[in-house]
A and B are shown apart, each in its own frame.
Chain A
Amino acid sequence: MQGNTRRTGIMTDVHRRFLQLLMTHGVLEECDVKRLQKHCYKVHDCNATIEKLEDFINNINSVLESLYIEIKKGVTEDDGRPIYALVNLATTSISKMASDFAENELDLFRKALELIIDSDTGFASSTNILNLVDQLKGKKMRKKEAEHVLQKFVQSKWLIEKEGEFTLHGRAILEMDQYIRETYPDAVKVCNICRSLLIQGQSCETCGIRMHLPCVAKYFQSNSEPHCPHCNDYWPHEVPVFDPEKERETGMSRSNKRSLRSRQH
């Protein structure tokens, strides 16, 4: 009995509880992850100093490596909040969803995913998704039912809904990165700055390169005359400002965000 169950990291009950709870939630924001870590220490090892989150997670990941899973950190595309999820490294399917949804529901998700990837804005309208209901595999699904299924996806954090349109939740982007790149190699978009998968973002009207909103915010930080990093043309979009650390109003009112999105593509 053996196998490479032990790598460089050491697992204690602190780490195990952390993993179990992270798995239960699917995806968590950084502030919740920190609270989770604190809770696990309190339960199992209340006298120990709480390890820095990054090191804590790297330690666990070194043990998870032989299982082809990883605690992955991502950033929400709309406002740059760090999120964490436990993802399969080597899978090319949407297998994690497969245990929670029926065949026709999974196919609905796949159809929505395809529309989202193909779209220019990263959003697919409810109407367009529902119109594909007849093409679904498995048991026949009516449009009313499909609406409920889409809501199920929102509630289990696979999709986000904004004003009747759907895009991928950060969780889906983290978990399905490889699947998406391999299944839609031509349609997939990539951020010019961080090189990760891009669903929502801003694009240069001249050369077409795209950037995530948080990447734009960081790249053009305090630059009053932003220019495209690729073709040097004037950057035509409003540069968003996100900073949870600083104690000031973000200045991004809701109506601003709406016009920002419509102007982007």
Chain B
Amino acid sequence: MLQKPESGALPIPQAEREMDGSHDGETQPLTASQEMAPSPLLQESPEEDLGAVREEGASEPSLTPKGARALAAKTLARRRACRRLDRTVAELVQFLLLKDRKKSPITRSEMVKYVIGDLKDLFPEIIARAAEHLRYVFGFELKQLDRKHHTYILINKLKPIEHEEEALGGDGPRLGLLMMILGLIYMKGNSAREAQVWAMLRRLGVRPSKYHFLFGYPKRLIMEDFVQLRYLNYRRVPHTNPPECEFSWGPRSNLETSKMKVLGFVAKLHKKEPQHWPVQYREALADEADRARAGASVRARASTHLW
């Protein structure tokens, strides 16, 4: 089922190809480090393959053993050249997809430098085949931005779906669960005992170790994933016996949402206005003022300041 490429490697630019020094802190396309295994494919000495095909005139295909061997060698060389071409097309497709994710236009010279290499005379064919793959397989159209500078972008041919992520519900249900927990934490004065969190969730039919069709294993999701992703903090409450633990907002929650937003969420749940909880409302207002004052660039500092 898997087409195992003969040398087990896709062409990777060798160390010898100088990497642009100007890309100092910037991310490098595809492969950057000299330590990457140089592609065995490139080591196959490209001239050999295509040269062998060109050599046709030199020896006549005949039935003599020597002629038969020459013919076999030529066929093999041609096949290798084709396979190499296929792999270059495949790598160009991947390169274009990766570059497109960063929304930066791709130049022809980048493509030649990092993917096509010395097959650059075949650039028109390679890019045409890559474009066809992109269209048929992924639904992207490769468009040349301008003829003079040879820059390209990918255009998504699939119709955009509004709020696709929410409709998908991929992260949706889990983030919804997180909102419930953030809400509880906030309403309880910025920290909630672990027991309280599980009590609330139990009321929603969610039990810690029972597999849930939307959340997976809730205990793992909350105690590990959410904590690791810095949405929640989890710590031991000092001087409690038996020892109790509590949750509070993690730094990522402070960045991605706000007290006002969470209060709004809680209010909607209870079909009331945020002002219904004057203490929390005042605190949320103060939080909004702080954020406005701090501004985007020092937001990180501001959120820890709020604690």
Contacts and interface: CB of A to CB of B under 8 A. Distances in A.
Contacts of B137: 5, 11, 16, 19, 63-64, 67
A68 interface: yes
Given A98-B28, A107-B33, A154-B229, A79 B220 contact: yes
B228 to A, nearest CB: 6
A35 B210 contact: no
B3 A65 contact: yes
A254 B28 contact: no
Interface stretch (A87-95, A127-135, A199-207, A221-229): A87-95
A249 interface: yes
Interface residues of chain B: helix, strand, loop or mixed (majority): loop
Given A17-B139, A90-B5, A90-B8, A31 B213 contact: yes
> Contact size class for B?
35 or more
B2 A89 contact: yes
Contacts of A21: 164, 168
A48 interface: no
B182 interface: no
Contacts of B223: 254
A4 to B, nearest CB: 7
Question: Which of A20, A95, A96, A251 has the most C-beta atoms of chain B within 10 angstroms of its own C-beta?
Answer: A95
A205 to B, nearest CB: 28
Contact of A35 (B24, B31, B129, B170): B170
Contacts of B93: 67
> Contact size class for A?
35 or more
A90 B11 CA distance: 9
Contacts of A51: none
Nearest to A244: B211
A66 B90 contact: yes
Given A36-B170, A103-B32, A90 B219 contact: no
Interface in B131-156: 132-133, 136-139, 156
A223 to B, nearest CB: 23
B291 interface: no
Contacts of B33: 103, 106-107, 110, 137
A147 interface: no
Contact of B30 (A3, A81, A95): A95
Interface in B64-111: 86-87, 89-91, 93-94, 97-99, 101-102
Interface in B195-212: 209-211
B138 to A, nearest CB: 6
Question: Which of A36, A66, A182 has the most C-beta atoms of chain B within 10 angstroms of its own C-beta?
Answer: A66
A4 B89 CA distance: 11
B18 to A, nearest CB: 14
Interface string B249-260: 000000000000
A56 to B, nearest CB: 15
B122 interface: no
Contacts of A178: 8
B58 interface: no
Contacts of B32: 98, 103, 106
A60 to B, nearest CB: 9
Interface in A5-29: 5-6, 11, 13, 16-17, 19-21, 23, 25, 28-29
Interface in A154-201: 154-155, 160-162, 178, 182-183
Contacts of B26: 102
A186 to B, nearest CB: 16
A90 B101 contact: no
Contact of B98 (A63, A90, A96): A96
Given A20-B156, A31-B216, A98-B27, A13 B3 contact: no
Among all A-B residue pairs, the 3 with the closest Cβ atoms: A16-B139, A3-B129, A90-B10
26 contacts: A11-B136, A19-B137, A19-B139, A20-B139, A61-B1, A65-B3, A67-B137, A68-B90, A89-B3, A89-B5, A90-B8, A90-B87, A91-B12, A92-B37, A95-B98, A98-B29, A101-B27, A103-B33, A106-B33, A110-B35, A154-B228, A244-B211, A247-B211, A249-B209, A250-B211, A253-B209
